[in-house]
């Protein structure tokens, strides 16, 4: 979900290593390993007009000028996509609930909205698909945003009241809860890079305050959910990005890379792991009371690697030039920037980092924007290989959720970036499976990856391996 500038210009080589299917031994996964997809309410439901994101859209802040509109029409017919997920042989689906529908005005809960979510969860179970419900995926009700969102003195309590209501109403159909999706992305894009509402730029202190507040909300939600539901499993979805020093022997590059890693990857993780931040940020908040650890699993959303170079002209951005070099595997370009390097080994870096927390891990998002399916099959094959090796090494990875089932509304990039295993035409709502969708179905259905699967699902091999030339900003 992070975009960045590109420092390269001119011709791009592919940087894409071919998948040699003959050299891929059959990789078998443990029984019960969950193959799934992830989605989020605002991106798929359609006609959401009561959240801060709808105002953001109306005020022309989507770079492509697009509107989410009907999105994937889930509010009327999520079942059509649940059929597709079942057809792919998936056993899990992560979705989120839209707070602005469930509590359209402060303190007023809409029973018909929660009934619709009950219906969706039942429909998933009926198809043999286990739901995982996320309580907050970037979208706030307008009334909550207008009163100061999580910075309002009541903000955390209001979120908790909403979370308790949802869990009470949906617990019959859901055991796995994700409190927050990517607090670090919400903080970075909303307060530092200005790409998400409320559009703050360079407000690093505010971003950090948001992270400590969300960590407190997570801990309280974790405890509340356990009070309400015996056997609940509660975690959050952590976005992990690999930052690579551009010149590995150049001290200033090493230093800015370290700062980026600390601020973006480490802050929230450390709050949940240790209950406090490391010096000099430890004065920012009271220690969180995490008892024996405030999560039952760690959810990881992993996409990209970025290179980081020291650049004293970028004072407002902590002197960091974050970019994607030429000749690395890349998906499609965003409206203004490249999306990032598609980097399967990022999964290893993320899993190894959170191993110290000692909790089961779910990969809750991984994918690439790729309308033509040039590179997604390559990504899936290499990520699955990485997962298989990590599991063999003893890491407790319980599932992989691809982002995403059908193309959907990609936040500030609108409909520009296409992440689906199915292509979607948002006007006609027509869905067309991509080659990577067939490949993923074979993997999920067989709980393994074999060379024959690659041959059979992608008979023409991969499409153009050439990288796009993204404009540099
Ligand atoms: C977000 C999704 C988003 C995806 C692709 C993730 O960071 O959770 O909502 O669509 O990235 O950019």
How far is residue 192's CA from residue 110's CA, in Å, rounded to a whole number? 34
Q: Is the CB of 195 under 6 A from ligand 1?
A: no
Give the three-state DSSP class for 448: strand
Residue corresponding to tokens 């590995």: 248
Q: What is the distance in A from the centroid of ligand 1 to the CA of 339?
A: 11
Give 319-366 as a DSSP string.
TEEEEE-TTS-B--B-SSSB--EE-TTHHHHHHHHHGGG-S-EEEEE-
CB of 304 within 6 A of ligand 1: the answer is no
The DSSP code for 228 is H
Cα separation, 14 vs 342, in Å, equals: 11
CA of 241 to the centre of ligand 1 (A): 12
Which segments in the chain show pLDDT lower than 50? 6-13, 464, 473
Q: Can you say whether residue 223 is alpha, beta or left, with left for phi > 0 and alpha for psi between -120 and 50 degrees?
A: alpha
Rounded to whole angstroms, the Cα distance separating 43 from 365 reads 14
Rounded CA-CA distance 301/38 in Å is 10
The CA distance from 321 to 377, in Å, is 30
Å from CA of 1 to ligand 1 middle: 5
Residue 7 has a pLDDT of: 46
> What is this structure's pTM?
0.95
Token representation of residue 91: 């056993």
**Ligand 1, closest atom to CA 138?**
9
pLDDT tens per residue across span 148-163: 999 999 999 999 999 9
Decide: helix, strand or coil at residue 136.
Answer: strand
- CA 410 to ligand 1 center in whole angstroms: 7
Is the beta carbon of 81 within 6 A of some atom in ligand 1? no
> 462: Cβ below 6 Å to ligand 1?
no
Q: Which residues of 353-388 are buried (b: 16+ CB within 10 A; e: fewer)?
A: bbbebebbbbbbbbbbbbbebbbbbbbbbbbbbbbb
Residue nearest atom 6 of ligand 1, based on CA coordinates: 1
Residue nearest to atom 9 of ligand 1 (CA): 40
CA distances from 224 to 165, 166, 221, 376 (A): 11, 12, 5, 39
The finding on whether 94 has its CB within 6 A of some atom of ligand 1 is: no
User: Considering Cα of 204, then 209, then 211, then 212, what sign does the dihedral take?
Assistant: positive
- Residue 442's φ and ψ, nearest 5 degrees, are -65, -40
Residues in the chain: 473
**Pocket flag, ligand 1, residue 3 (CB < 6 Å):** no
Ligand 1 centroid – CA 431 distance (Å): 20
Pairing of strands 397-402, 361-365: parallel
CA-proximal residue: ligand 1, atom 4 (nearest): 1
Encoded tokens for 331: 């998906």
Question: What are the C-alpha distances in Å from 138 to residues 53, 54, 410?
Answer: 9, 12, 12
Give bridge partners of residue 156 from the DSSP assignment.
none
Q: Whose CA is nearest to atom 5 of ligand 1?
A: 1
Atom of ligand 1 nearest to the CA of 182: 8
State the distance from the centre of ligand 1 to the C-alpha of 146, rounded, in angstroms. 24
């Amino acid at each position: 979900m992070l975009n960045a500038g590109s420092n390269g210009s001119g011709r791009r080589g592919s940087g894409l290593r071919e998948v040699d299917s003959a050299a891929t031994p059959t990789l078998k996964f443990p029984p019960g390993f969950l193959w799934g997809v992830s989605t989020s309410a605002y991106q798929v439901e359609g006609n959401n007009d009561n959240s801060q994101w709808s105002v953001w859209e109306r005020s022309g802040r989507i770079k492509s000028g697009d509107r989410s509109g009907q999105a994937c029409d889930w509010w009327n017919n999520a079942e059509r996509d649940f059929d597709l997920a079942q057809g792919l042989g998936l056993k899990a689906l992560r979705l989120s609930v839209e707070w602005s529908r469930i509590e359209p005005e402060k303190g007023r809960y809409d029973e018909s909205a929660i009934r619709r979510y009950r219906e969706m969860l039942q429909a998933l179970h009926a198809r043999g698909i286990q739901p995982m419900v996320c309580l907050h995926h970037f979208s706030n009700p307008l009334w909550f945003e207008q009163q100061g969102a999580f910075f309002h003195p009541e903000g955390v309590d209001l979120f908790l009241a909403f979370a308790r209501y949802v869990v009470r109403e949906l617990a019959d159909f859901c055991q796995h809860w994700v409190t927050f999706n990517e607090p670090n992305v919400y903080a970075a894009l909303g307060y530092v890079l200005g790409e998400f509402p409320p559009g703050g730029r360079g407000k690093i202190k505010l971003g950090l305050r948001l992270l400590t507040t969300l960590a407190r909300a997570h801990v309280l939600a974790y405890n509340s959910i356990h009070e309400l539901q015996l056997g609940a499993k509660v975690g959050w979805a952590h976005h992990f990005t690999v930052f690579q020093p551009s010149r590995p022997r150049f001290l200033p590059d090493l230093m800015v890379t370290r700062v980026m890693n600390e601020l973006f990857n480490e802050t929230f993780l450390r709050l949940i792991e240790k209950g406090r931040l490391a010096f000099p940020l430890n004065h920012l908040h009271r220690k969180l009371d995490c008892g024996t650890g405030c999560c039952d699993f760690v959810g990881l959303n992993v996409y990209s690697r970025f290179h980081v170079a020291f650049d004293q002209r970028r004072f407002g951005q902590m002197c960091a030039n974050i970019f994607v070099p030429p000749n690395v595997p890349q998906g499609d370009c965003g409206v203004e920037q490249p999306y990032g390097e598609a980097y399967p080994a990022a999964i290893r870096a993320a899993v190894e980092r959170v191993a110290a927390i000692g909790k089961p891990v779910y990969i809750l998002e991984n994918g690439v924007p790729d309308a033509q399916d040039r590179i997604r099959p390559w990504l899936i094959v290499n990520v699955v290989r990485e997962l298989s090796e990590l599991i063999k090494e003893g890491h407790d990875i319980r599932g992989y959720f691809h982002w995403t089932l059908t193309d959907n509304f990609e936040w500030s990039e609108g409909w520009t970036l296409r992440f689906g295993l199915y292509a979607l035409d948002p006007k006609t709502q027509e869905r067309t499976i991509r080659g990577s969708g067939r490949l993923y179905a074979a993997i999920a259905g067989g709980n393994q990856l074999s060379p024959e699967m690659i041959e059979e699902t992608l008979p023409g091999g991969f499409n153009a391996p050439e990288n796009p030339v993204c404009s540099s900003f």
